[in-house]
Amino acid sequence: MEAILQDVTKAVAAFGRLDVVPTLLAVLREITGMRFAAVARVTEKVWTVCAVQDGLQLGIEVGAPFV
């Protein structure tokens, strides 16, 4: 379990260091007309938000796991 948490932490941190990610999410929202866009690390059991633009104010935050 510890190794999985470290992998998730590394994935979230890696996306946080990429300056282009917010721009890509904004472009995706613009061209699709969606008010929400995210990048997630997905496994068979859980997905973890690595980057998000939540124009719907759903309260989904970076690092949030969804089972």
pTM summary value: 0.80
Phi, psi of 16 (to 5 degrees): -65, -25
One-letter identity of residue 57: Q
Question: How high is the pLDDT of residue 2?
Answer: 66
pLDDT in tens, 10-57: 888 888 899 999 999 999 999 999 999 999 988 888 889 999 999 999
Question: So what's the pLDDT on residue 1?
Answer: 62
List the 36-42 sheet strands across, edge first.
36-42, 47-54, 65-66
3-class secondary structure, 41: strand
Task: Enumerate the domain spans of the chain.
Answer: 2-66
Q: Which two tokens mark 28? A: 């995706």
Q: How far apart are CA 58 and CA 18, in angstroms?
A: 23
Q: Are 49 and 40 in contact (CB under 8 A)?
A: yes
Q: What integer pLDDT is reported at residue 28 of this predicted model?
A: 96
pLDDT above 70: residue 7 = yes
